[in-house]
Structure 1
Amino acid sequence: MTLQRKLRFALCAVSITACATTFAQYGGTRTQQLDPVVEKIVKEANENSQLENLAFQLLDVVGPRLVGTPQMNKANDWAVKTFQSWGLEAEKQQFGEWRGWERGVSHIDMTSPRLKTLAGTQLAWSPSTKGKAIEGEVIVLPTFKDSADFVAWLPKVKGKYVMTSMYQPTGRPDHDWEKYARPESFEQMKKERDSLVQVYNGNISKTGYSANSIPGKLEEAGALGVLSSFWSREFGANKIFGARTSKVPSVDISLEDYGLLYRLAKNGIIPKVKIETSSKDLGTVPSFNTIAQIKGTELPNEYVILSAHLDSWEGGSGATDNGTGTLAMMEVARVLKAVFPNPKRTILIGLWGSEEQGLNGSRAFVLDNPEIIEKTQAVFNLDNGTGRVENINGSGFVHAYDFIGRWMQAVPNHITKDIKTTFPGSPGGGGSDHASFVAAGIPAFMLSSLSWGYFNNTWHTNLDTYDKLVFDDLRYNVILTAVMAYKAAQEDKLVDREQRVMPTGGGRGDSSWPAIRQPRRTGVGY
């Protein structure tokens, strides 16, 4: 993202002693005297943290939270019950409906030329084999001359499992090659991989269809199922998204086992696999947001919103996307209710549904609650992994430097010392739920976290599980968010919402303020 102007500040390194923070500045020392409420927030978050227990309940007991599944509904109910146990008002609010689906057991076995149980799972919303184990030969996509050649080949898929993903030349991530390989070996591998990508993409293009639409054509032609492998370029990590078939199973297979099948098929030793999936189609089911609040005393109809999406994909347990954001915002609510139960403004917690399909829950909330949106002071959003916050962008609001800077000054320096800020920044275009509010002109901010290998290791992968959480960093985020929410709630008046003038004139950086977009209130899958 290119910005015309960047203003950054970093508060200096500190060490905590009791309730005061001391740091070196200009050769001397100065003490940061914390607001008594901030002292209580720090103490409650550190000494009575519920993060580990919340994580266990959400990630291990409830599990992944795909929109339309019983687990998503269970997560909504669990969140409501948990908020209520802390004395908060809470409820589920329906915003739409989705195709209901429940994951079942997946068995994927190679039966020829030898026996081997393969590592893999059905994709979200995949059709089942209805309790049967169906065996068939495995074939790969051949090289096509053009779309007519593809159409002429299609009858050959009948009664077979078809591999649709690119063969990966290495199962080692790039950082492993960088550490151990000779530079010329690493470069040779990258050239080979780039060439395979180019050939694969060109072959798909010649079919006249996209990689997303080909599975449907294979299904129509009588294929038994679709085999894919979406490697995430880390050891053992595959991204698990949604099925593109409606009658036959779609399964993702680990890089290692997918490569085995591919090499066998390409070398004329036709492998066979037997697949059994027992997922259930549950028809159309309602989709919800979970909304909780700590009611304001002086200005109850003005709001500070704590934002995180509760839904996830299905590969792991949705730990860092976005279990971490959900857990942190729930813990912020618990801490504030315990130490500051009577804020001036209402503190509202929104745990959104169907973010993964296009910010549907938060977009619906914005459109369905104009009276709340009109009087929202600020929105704080967490949604990019387990790391402590390292960046805050002003989202294009001209005066964000003033009020964000003021609120951050109340946070203990050891929490903020490494946070970089960009003001006025640029409005988010749709990467997470804060964008739904920014589009409506509301000061909404993504609290962007350290990576911890997020995009390759856990983002939408089978490895996004409890063990990837870093609770020490999450406690930092709880303190930061709780203090900023407290200060935002206590402001004398609503902050200035003036928007920056977006660049124009024909350059590459030209843009406009994002428009409010309609949510998908009815969905069937991906």
Structure 2
Amino acid sequence: MKKLSGLSLGLLLATSVLTQAQTKDPIIEGIVKEANENSQLEKLAHELMDVVGPRLVGSPQMQQANEWAVAKYKDWNITAKNEKWGEWRGWERGASHIDMVSPRVKSLEGMQLAWSPSTGGKTITADAIIIPDLADSLAFAKWLPTVKGKFVMISMLQPTGRPDYNWQEFATKESFEKMKKERDILTEAWTKRIAKTGYSLRTLPAALEKAGAVGVVASYWSKGFGANKIFGATTKKVPTVDIALEDYGLLYRLAESGHTPKISVRADSKENGVVPTFNTIAEIKGTEKPDEYVILSAHFDSWDGGTGATDNGTGTLTMMEAMRILKKIYPNPKRTILVGHWGSEEQGLNGSRAFVEDHPEIVKNIQAVFNQDNGTGRVVNLAGQGFLNSYEYLGRWLSKVPSNIKDQIETRFPGAPGAGGSDFASFVAAGAPAFSLSSLNWSYGTYTWHTNRDTYDKIVFDDVRNNAILAAIMAYQASEDPVKTSREKSVLPANAKGEPGAWPAMRSPTRKGGMD
């Protein structure tokens, strides 16, 4: 091997540095710099989660959020609008006051479920009783009149309020196994107890209401300290309240031991008739191929036990921040970059399904959709959703992402098409290349997914910042790519019956909801 002179070595090194400098992309560098040095995430999160609050479909807060987002985009000189896609039962949450007044006085942690009837401005005080374990539906029908004038508890007594990881850390193996066995027995017994009524947990509240109960009391523990799932009520005239595991257990044990607890409930909520529902749509118009689209996607609505911070406030923030950065750093994309903040995802992807149904002219010209909707964590998974050649273009775009973000992402190609779960599935069903930016867990399922603890303080802003950078760079690369993405679908494996695998079918949205 010939030894290089000092001058030759210096020229070689200089050439190498120059080549590296030439390969750096100023747009990508600008995106990263803007995201890290001028982030608006904390400000946006405060305004959306703390000021606007939860965004239940049909609520005034949902409409306020739609209007807030349009105003933000206009502040950034991005064209935006709210596009009506349907109507929903209008309902506005008020305060919930739940107290035990006998055999002693204690304020209880709890809240009414979404769409629960109010107590009409009054405080209702009555005994709390447990659904009994009866022989069959005939025995239950005979017992049912005894609920008149009472609150009825319909959830099982949890044997522990400690999550399993806490038991694993501190309990003996024998003690942990004993607890789990006891819990399994109790769960099976409670399932049978409810089945023997002739009703399900969904239909039972209406039967209790019809029989004269003054309210329904439940506790849907999320298997983590202090966390309960808060969904919707099925009663029409009397309130349904969820009480935290700790206080629900207290009431249950008192009732079971014959110390009949008496509780008082005031649940203030307001019915607002039928209200319009919207998607918020914003776009940066393409300069060369304005009728081809790169779509950033996140659902805007939430359940309202907390403030919808990680489901899907963080997805919303990711896409808003990505759009803000792109408008500043990459204001003239080749393809149109559109962002969709979808309504009523929680009731069945309704907003995105409506968009797909209403805009075939856009769907047929989609270059790529990037959706984020599983918590605050940094993106660690990206699958091809069954598109045969997705590895080629996604891999190429992903190679431009800074290594500190890219190297944490596990890819899977071609993958299988998602049939639900989040809004990317609405586009996949229509044959458009749509992908989920899937995030690190951060105990999402236990502590924040649909819970009363899904609040601002659970946001991990460093991870969301990384996700905004990723979304912006992927949108930039998809916009610039000279080649239109392939929509060729992979051959899906046969199902359990040996039949050929089928691509998910498009489904129409529910355009008038919550009325039944």
What residue is the counterpart of 1:185 in the other structure?
175
Listed one character per residue, the Cα deviations across residues 270-305 of structure 1 (whole Å, up to 9, x for unaligned) are 110010111001110000000000000111111000
2 CA distance for matches of 1:298 and 1:120?
A: 55
1 CA distance for matches of 2:223 and 2:269?
A: 28
Contact 1:94/1:287, CA 8 A, preserved across alignment? yes
What amino acid is aligned across from residue 160 of structure 2 in structure 1?
Answer: T
What amino acid is aligned across from residue 78 of structure 2 in structure 1?
Answer: L
What residue is the counterpart of 1:132 in the other structure?
122
Contact 1:141/1:163, CA 8 A, preserved across alignment? yes
What residue is the counterpart of 1:458 in the other structure?
448
Pair 1:492-2:482 in alignment: yes
1 CA distance for matches of 2:123 and 2:157?
A: 26
Tell me the SS of whatever aligns to 2:271: strand
Contact 2:297/2:371, CA 8 A, preserved across alignment? yes
What residue is the counterpart of 1:279 in the other structure?
269
What residue is the counterpart of 1:173 in the other structure?
163
Listed one character per residue, the Cα deviations across residues 55-96 of structure 1 (whole Å, up to 9, x for unaligned) are 000000000000000000000000000011001100000000
Listed one character per residue, the Cα deviations across residues 2-34 of structure 1 (whole Å, up to 9, x for unaligned) are xxxxxxxxxxxxxxxxxxxx9xxxxxxx99943
Deviation at 1:150, TM superposition (A): 1.3
Change (3 A) 1:393 1:32: farther
Match of residue 349, structure 1, among 339, 354, 358: 339
Tell me the SS of whatever aligns to 1:431: coil
What residue is the counterpart of 2:3 in the other structure?
none
Deviation at 1:153, TM superposition (A): 1.1
2 CA distance for matches of 1:520 and 1:508?
A: 33
Match of residue 323, structure 1, among 313, 323, 330: 313
Deviation at 1:510, TM superposition (A): 6.5
Pair 1:417-2:407 in alignment: yes
- Over aligned residues, Cα RMSD in angstroms? 1.4
Match of residue 70, structure 1, among 60, 71, 77: 60
Pair 1:217-2:190 in alignment: no
2 CA distance for matches of 1:46 and 1:369?
A: 35
Pair 1:426-2:411 in alignment: no
Contact 2:495/2:501, CA 8 A, preserved across alignment? no
Tell me the SS of whatever aligns to 1:87: coil
Pair 1:146-2:136 in alignment: yes
Change (3 A) 1:32 1:186: farther
1 CA distance for matches of 2:480 and 2:136?
A: 65
What amino acid is aligned across from residue 74 of structure 1 in structure 2?
Answer: Q
Match of residue 57, structure 1, among 38, 43, 47: 47
Listed one character per residue, the Cα deviations across residues 421-451 of structure 1 (whole Å, up to 9, x for unaligned) are 0000000111000000000000100000000
Q: How does 1:323-472 map to 2 (within 5 A)?
A: 323-472=313-462
Deviation at 1:508, TM superposition (A): 8.2
Pair 1:252-2:242 in alignment: yes
2 CA distance for matches of 1:381 and 1:433?
A: 7
Contact 1:107/1:275, CA 8 A, preserved across alignment? yes
Contact 1:34/1:412, CA 8 A, preserved across alignment? no
Tell me the SS of whatever aligns to 1:96: strand
What residue is the counterpart of 1:97 in the other structure?
87
Deviation at 1:217, TM superposition (A): 0.4
What residue is the counterpart of 1:14 in the other structure?
none
Listed one character per residue, the Cα deviations across residues 81-121 of structure 1 (whole Å, up to 9, x for unaligned) are 00110011000000000000001111101010001110000
2 CA distance for matches of 1:302 and 1:271?
A: 63
Deviation at 1:511, TM superposition (A): 3.6
Unaligned runs of 5+ in 1: 1-21, 23-29
What residue is the counterpart of 1:196 in the other structure?
186
1 CA distance for matches of 2:304 and 2:499?
A: 36
Number of aligned residues: 498
Pair 1:110-2:80 in alignment: no
Change (3 A) 1:275 1:79: same
Deviation at 1:466, TM superposition (A): 0.3
2 CA distance for matches of 1:148 and 1:62?
A: 48
**What is the percentage of aligned positions where both structures have the same residue?**
62
Tell me the SS of whatever aligns to 1:103: strand
Contact 2:491/2:501, CA 8 A, preserved across alignment? no
2 CA distance for matches of 1:509 and 1:447?
A: 30
What residue is the counterpart of 2:6 in the other structure?
none
2 CA distance for matches of 1:417 and 1:32?
A: 23
1 CA distance for matches of 2:289 and 2:163?
A: 53
1 CA distance for matches of 2:287 and 2:85?
A: 28
1 CA distance for matches of 2:196 and 2:469?
A: 54
Deviation at 1:491, TM superposition (A): 1.3
2 CA distance for matches of 1:479 and 1:307?
A: 15
Deviation at 1:525, TM superposition (A): 6.7
Unaligned runs of 5+ in 2: 1-16
2 CA distance for matches of 1:131 and 1:509?
A: 58
2 CA distance for matches of 1:505 and 1:218?
A: 42
Deviation at 1:414, TM superposition (A): 1.1
TM-score, length of structure 2 as denominator length: 0.95
2 CA distance for matches of 1:351 and 1:106?
A: 30
Listed one character per residue, the Cα deviations across residues 227-261 of structure 1 (whole Å, up to 9, x for unaligned) are 00000011000000001101000000000000000
2 CA distance for matches of 1:32 and 1:442?
A: 35
What residue is the counterpart of 1:18 in the other structure?
none
2 CA distance for matches of 1:384 and 1:510?
A: 30
What residue is the counterpart of 1:266 in the other structure?
256
Change (3 A) 1:385 1:508: farther
What amino acid is aligned across from residue 437 of structure 1 in structure 2?
Answer: F
Contact 1:125/1:525, CA 8 A, preserved across alignment? no
What amino acid is aligned across from residue 338 of structure 2 in structure 1?
Answer: L
2 CA distance for matches of 1:236 and 1:166?
A: 17
2 CA distance for matches of 1:59 and 1:91?
A: 21
Change (3 A) 1:521 1:43: same
Greater mean alpha carbon deviation, residues 245-254 or residues 201-210: 201-210
Contact 1:242/1:525, CA 8 A, preserved across alignment? no
2 CA distance for matches of 1:461 and 1:508?
A: 40
TM-score, length of structure 1 as denominator length: 0.93
Deviation at 1:35, TM superposition (A): 1.5
